Amino acid sequence: MNAQNCFHCGNDIVKADEIIFDEKLFCCSGCKTVYEIFSLNDLTCYYDFENAPGATPQDIKGKYDFLDNEDIVSKLLEFQEDTTHIVSLYIPHIHCSSCIWILENLHKLQKGIASSQVNFHEKKVRITFNPNETNLKDIVLMMSSIGYEPYISLENYETKKQSVDRSLYYKIGVAFFCFGNIMLLSFPEYFEVGEFWIEQYKGFFRWLIFALSLPAFFYSAWGYYVSAWKSIKSRMLNIDIPIALGIVVMFVRSTVDIAFDYGQGFFDSMCGLIFFMLLGKLFQQKTYNFLSFERDYKSYFPIAVTKINSDGTEEAIQVYDVEKGNRLLIRNQELIPVDGILMSEKTMIDYSFVTGEEVPIEKKSGDKIFAGGKQLGKVVEMEVLHSVSQSYLTQLWSNDVFQKRVDQKYKTITDTISRYFTPALLALAFISFGYWIFIDVTTAFNVFTAILIVACPCALALTAPFTLGNVLRIVGSRKLYLKNATVIEQLAKVNTIVFDKTGTITTNKKTSITYEGTELTDAELKLLKNTLRGSNHPLSRRLYDYIPNQEKGETTRFEEIIGKGIFAEIDGCTVKIGSSQFLQHMSENTHKKTKVHIEINGVYKGSYVFNNQYRQGLEQLFENLSKKYNLVVLSGDNDGERKILEKMLPKNTTLVFNQKPEQKLAFIENLQKEGKNVMMIGDGLNDAGALAQSNIGISISENVNVFSPACDGILDASQFSKIGFFMRYSKDAMNIIMMSFGLSLLYNVVGLSYAVSGNLSPIVAAIIMPLSTVTIVSFVTIMSNAFARK
C-alpha cells in the first residue's frame, strides 16, 4: 500500500492533517475513529480482505432524529414483532468483500442485533434486531459512525415488499427436465429402427415421451401462446405467432403420429425448442439490481423533516404530513422538501440539481424558496406554502410523459422481420398443401405440418436475445448500464443527440480555478488557506482544495457573513475573502463569471475565477459525433459560456440557453415532431422530464449508486468520452443481428426443402434444430465480442 494513503479510506493524506495511530496513517480523525472502533472490537480483519476499504464517516448530527418517530420507523421495518424487528437498509458504500464482512459482523458492534445479511448486488443489508435492546436509530447512527451510512429516502417509505418473479427459472427447469428425458427415451428408436427389441417396447416409449412432453407444452411454453394471442388480437404479427404455431402443430402432429402409429413424433425437438428459447429469454434479462431506472423525486427527498411547534419544541414529522403554515427547521446540507418562505435572515441555496444552475443562490428573509434546493449554511427556519404534492418540483411529475411512458411500445427488430416472415411462411405452407392434396391427402397434411414445424423460427427468435443480451453485458462492463435490451435497438436508431450542459458536458467535481491579480506570496497563501479552513461555503471548500497545503496558523478572529464573505485575523494579519460587494471593490462587470476576491491587510490583491470545467475529450467527442448526428446543447444556465462553447464545439451544434425543465421537455417534443429520434443525455432532476420524453434518456452520474432520474440508461461520468463508441457499437449489434437472421434463414431453407418434398423425419428435425441454435448463439457471441474489441 502506498504510504501516503489513508489506511482506512485510501485517500491521499494531507500532511498537516495526518494522524498516526497504532503505527498506521490516517487522513482524518473520522477514519482513525473507525479504525479504533474496529480494533476495540477485534474486527481489524476488515482490512485484511481489501486495501483501504473504508469510507470516512460523515457528520450526521441530528439527521436521523426522525427515527425517534415510531410511525416512520414502523413504515421502514420489514417485519415487526415483540422481540424481533427486521429492516433492510440500502448502503451505497458496499463495494467489496470487506464491506460484506464488517456488515455481517454488526452484532459485535451493537448489542441487540441478532444477525445481519448482505445482498451484494442490491447493496442492501438486512438486519434482524431485538427492539428491547436497541433501536433503529442507534443502529443507523452506529453504521454511520463506521462509514456505512444508509440511504433512507421518501422512496423507502412507500415501497411495499416486491415479490420476486422467478417463474422463468421454474419454466426453464421444467423444460430442461422434459427435454433431457425425452431425448434419452428417443434415442433407441433413432438407432434401432425396425429391430425386434424396439418393436416390442415402442408403445411404452412413445406414450412415456408423450406424457413427459405435457408439462413443457402446457406450462413452460404457456407464455408464447398468450403473447401470440395478444398480438393476433392487436394485429401486430410478432415473432411469437410462428413460434406458438410451430409448437402447437408439432404437438398435435406428434400426438396423431403416435396415436395412429405413423411414427415417433417430434416431441424431443419441441421440448428442446421451448428450452432454448426460454434460455434466450433468461440471457436477455440482465438486470442491475443496485441501480434503479425508475427513480423519481421520491428517492431524492428526505423521509422526514423537523417541524417547530408553536410552543418552540422540535418534532420530526413525515414529509407528507407537512401542511401549509407549518414552520420547518432546515439544517446545513439538508434538502428543502416543500415550497415556502424563508424566515431566517439569510441563507445560500444550491439548486444545481433542480435547475442546473451551478452557483448557490442567496436568499434573504421573506424570499420564496422552492423544493429541491439544498440548504447551505447555518440552520434556518422556513414557513410552508405548499404541501409536498403541490410543490413546484413535484408538480413536474404530474406531467403526462411520466404516465404514458409505461405503455409506450417499441416495435423490435425481430417483430419487424416477422411481419414479413409470418405471412410468407403461411403462404408457403398453404401452397405446398394445395400442391400435394391433388397427389396424396396424407402427404399433404404431412408436408403442411412439417413446414410449420421446421420453419418454427427458433434460431430467428434466439438471435436478438443472445446478441442484445451479450451487448448489454459488454456495455455494462464498460459502465454504461442500460435498462433492458430494447434500449440497444433504440440507440441504433438515434439521429439527434441532446446534451444538458451543467453536470453533463461540464463536471461538477473539478472546477478549474484561475487567479487574476497581483501574485500572492507563500505567506499570503498560508493566510488564505487558514482563513478558508473555517468556512463551509462551497466556493471556499473548492478554493481550499485548490490552494496547496500550508502550515496551520493561529486564527484570532473569524467571521463569516453568509452570502458575502469571510473576515479573519490570523497571525496579526487581516484577511477578507468574498464577493466584490463585500470588499467594496467594484471591478469590471463580470457578474457572469463566478469570482472570489481577496484582500489582505486592507490591500486588494486580486480574484480567483471559477471556470466551468468541461469533461475530458468533449471536443473530440462532439467532432466525431457531429459527422453522423445532429447535436444540441440544452442548458438551464444563462448564456455566459456561449462564446467558449461556440469556439469549442463543431459549427452545426445548436446551443440553447435559459431553459426551464418544462421548456426542455417541450424542446425534445418538437424535435420528435420533426420526425427525429432523440437521445437525451442529462443528469439532474431538471432533466427528468426531457429524459422521459426523449426516445432514449441516458442519465450521466459521477456515482451511479446515488440518485439519478428516471431514464433508460445510466452512464458512469468517467466514460463520457466513450459515447461515440457506444453509439457505433449499438449499430454494430444491429448488423450482427441482420447477419445472423440471414444465417438462420439459410437453415430454414435447408429444413424447408426436406419439408416441402415430404421427407422430414423426426431425426432430421432433431438434428437441425439444436445445430442451428448452437451455430446462431456462437456466431452472435463471437461477433459481438469481436466488434467490442475493435
Partner 1 sequence: MSVIYLLISISIVVAAVFLYIFIRAVKSGQFDDDYTPSVRMLFDDELKKESKQIRTQIEKQN
**Segment near partner 1 (CB under 8 A); pick from 64-72, 179-187, 444-452, 632-640:** 179-187
Q: Decide if residue 79 touches partner 1 (CB under 8 A).
A: no
Closest CA to 249 of 445, 441, 443: 445
**Number of residues assigned to the chain:** 790
Q: Which three cell numbers stand for residue 323?
A: 401542511
Q: Looking at beta carbons only, is 99 or 316 nearer to partner 1?
A: 99
State which H helix or E strand residue 459 sits in.
helix 458-477
| Sign of the Cα pseudo-torsion (251, 253, 257, 260, in order) | positive
- Determine whether 679 is exposed, middle or buried from the number of CB atoms within 10 Å of its CB (0-12, 13-18, 19+): buried
The three-state secondary structure class of 665 is helix
Smallest separation, CB 169 to partner 1 (Å): 5
The three-state secondary structure class of 97 is helix
**Euclidean distance between the first and the last CA atom of the chain, given in angstroms as a whole number:** 35
The strands making up 654-656's β-sheet, listed across from edge to edge, are 480-482, 713-716, 696-701, 678-682, 496-500, 630-634, 654-656
Q: Looking at beta carbons only, is 164 or 603 nearer to partner 1?
A: 164
For partner 1, the binding residue among 21, 120, 219, 402 (CB under 8 A) is 120
**Segment near partner 1 (CB under 8 A); pick from 11-19, 162-170, 217-225, 261-269:** 162-170
Can you tell me the distance from the alpha carbon of 100 to that of 94, in angstroms, rounded to the nearest whole number? 7
Q: How many residues line the site for partner 1 (CB under 8 A)? A: 29
Can you tell me the distance from the alpha carbon of 743 to that of 773, in angstroms, rounded to the nearest whole number? 11
Tell me whether strands 346-350 and 374-376 are parallel, antiparallel or unpaired. antiparallel
Q: Looking at beta carbons only, is 204 or 435 nearer to partner 1?
A: 204
**Segment near partner 1 (CB under 8 A); pick from 167-175, 340-348, 587-595, 737-745:** 167-175
The three-state secondary structure class of 631 is strand
Tell me whether strands 340-342 and 594-600 are parallel, antiparallel or unpaired. unpaired
Smallest separation, CB 243 to partner 1 (Å): 24
The three-state secondary structure class of 311 is coil
Can you tell me the distance from the alpha carbon of 731 to that of 108, in angstroms, rounded to the nearest whole number? 53
Q: Looking at beta carbons only, is 170 or 218 nearer to partner 1?
A: 170
For partner 1, the binding residue among 181, 255, 555, 761 (CB under 8 A) is 181
Can you tell me the distance from the alpha carbon of 125 to that of 119, in angstroms, rounded to the nearest whole number? 6
The strands making up 113-119's β-sheet, listed across from edge to edge, are 77-80, 85-90, 124-129, 113-119
The strands making up 346-350's β-sheet, listed across from edge to edge, are 361-364, 346-350, 374-376
Q: Which three cell numbers stand for residue 178?
A: 422434459
Smallest separation, CB 127 to partner 1 (Å): 15
Q: Looking at beta carbons only, is 174 or 244 nearer to partner 1?
A: 174
For partner 1, the binding residue among 173, 366, 434, 517 (CB under 8 A) is 173
Q: Which residue has the cell 432533466?
A: 687
**Segment near partner 1 (CB under 8 A); pick from 180-188, 353-361, 588-596, 621-629:** 180-188
Q: Which residue has the cell 422481540?
A: 83
For residues 481 and 699, is the Cβ–Cβ distance under 8 A?
Answer: no
Site string for partner 1, 81-100 (x = CB under 8 A): ----------------x--x
The three-state secondary structure class of 479 is coil
Smallest separation, CB 149 to partner 1 (Å): 20
Smallest separation, CB 274 to partner 1 (Å): 15
Tell me whether strands 480-482 and 696-701 are parallel, antiparallel or unpaired. unpaired
For residues 776 and 462, is the Cβ–Cβ distance under 8 A?
Answer: yes
For partner 1, the binding residue among 79, 191, 204, 229 (CB under 8 A) is 204
Q: Looking at beta carbons only, is 169 or 430 nearer to partner 1?
A: 169
For partner 1, the binding residue among 174, 303, 393, 577 (CB under 8 A) is 174
Smallest separation, CB 275 to partner 1 (Å): 13
The three-state secondary structure class of 695 is coil
Q: Looking at beta carbons only, is 105 or 292 nearer to partner 1?
A: 105
Q: Looking at beta carbons only, is 38 or 610 nearer to partner 1?
A: 38
The DSSP secondary-structure symbol of 12 reads: B
Smallest separation, CB 345 to partner 1 (Å): 50
**Segment near partner 1 (CB under 8 A); pick from 150-158, 181-189, 227-235, 296-304:** 181-189
**Segment near partner 1 (CB under 8 A); pick from 173-181, 427-435, 618-626, 725-733:** 173-181
Q: Looking at beta carbons only, is 43 or 527 nearer to partner 1?
A: 43
Q: Decide if residue 696 touches partner 1 (CB under 8 A).
A: no
Q: Looking at beta carbons only, is 101 or 392 nearer to partner 1?
A: 101
Can you tell me the distance from the alpha carbon of 306 to that of 313, in angstroms, rounded to the nearest whole number? 10
Can you tell me the distance from the alpha carbon of 723 to that of 698, in angstroms, rounded to the nearest whole number? 11
Q: Looking at beta carbons only, is 120 or 657 nearer to partner 1?
A: 120
Smallest separation, CB 36 to partner 1 (Å): 17
Backbone angles phi, psi at 301, to 5 degrees: -85, 150
Beta strands in 63-202, from DSSP E residues, in sequence order: 77-80, 85-90, 113-119, 124-129
CA distances from 360 to 355, 356, 393 (A): 11, 11, 18
Q: Decide if residue 198 touches partner 1 (CB under 8 A).
A: no
Can you tell me the distance from the alpha carbon of 690 to that of 665, in angstroms, rounded to the nearest whole number? 4
For partner 1, the binding residue among 29, 119, 395, 484 (CB under 8 A) is 119
Name the amino acid, one letter, at 57. Answer: P
For partner 1, the binding residue among 191, 201, 222, 410 (CB under 8 A) is 201
Q: Looking at beta carbons only, is 122 or 381 nearer to partner 1?
A: 122
CA 487 to chain centre: 13
**Segment near partner 1 (CB under 8 A); pick from 101-109, 249-257, 623-631, 671-679:** 101-109
Smallest separation, CB 281 to partner 1 (Å): 15
For partner 1, the binding residue among 52, 208, 525, 609 (CB under 8 A) is 208
Q: Looking at beta carbons only, is 152 or 185 nearer to partner 1?
A: 185
Smallest separation, CB 475 to partner 1 (Å): 20
CA distances from 658 to 391, 639, 642, 694, 731 (A): 21, 7, 11, 19, 34
CA distances from 742 to 276, 334, 524, 715 (A): 19, 58, 73, 33
Q: Looking at beta carbons only, is 397 or 481 nearer to partner 1?
A: 481
Q: Looking at beta carbons only, is 216 or 480 nearer to partner 1?
A: 216
Q: Decide if residue 164 touches partner 1 (CB under 8 A).
A: yes
For partner 1, the binding residue among 79, 170, 229, 410 (CB under 8 A) is 170
For partner 1, the binding residue among 185, 250, 480, 600 (CB under 8 A) is 185
For residues 83 and 89, is the Cβ–Cβ distance under 8 A?
Answer: no
**Segment near partner 1 (CB under 8 A); pick from 112-120, 272-280, 618-626, 765-773:** 112-120
Q: Decide if residue 121 touches partner 1 (CB under 8 A).
A: yes
Smallest separation, CB 113 to partner 1 (Å): 16
- Binding residues among 485-504 for partner 1 as defined by CB under 8 A: none
Q: Which three cell numbers stand for residue 301?
A: 427527498
The DSSP secondary-structure symbol of 216 reads: I
Q: Decide if residue 402 touches partner 1 (CB under 8 A).
A: no
- Binding residues among 39-78 for partner 1 as defined by CB under 8 A: 42, 45, 48
73 CB-side CA count, 13 A = 18
For partner 1, the binding residue among 118, 274, 444, 596 (CB under 8 A) is 118
Can you tell me the distance from the alpha carbon of 663 to that of 684, in angstroms, rounded to the nearest whole number? 15
**Segment near partner 1 (CB under 8 A); pick from 171-179, 359-367, 414-422, 756-764:** 171-179
For partner 1, the binding residue among 25, 136, 212, 513 (CB under 8 A) is 212
The footprint of partner 1 (CB under 8 A) covers 42, 45, 48, 97, 100-101, 104-105, 117-122, 164, 166, 169-170, 173-174, 177, 180-181, 184-185, 201, 204, 208, 212
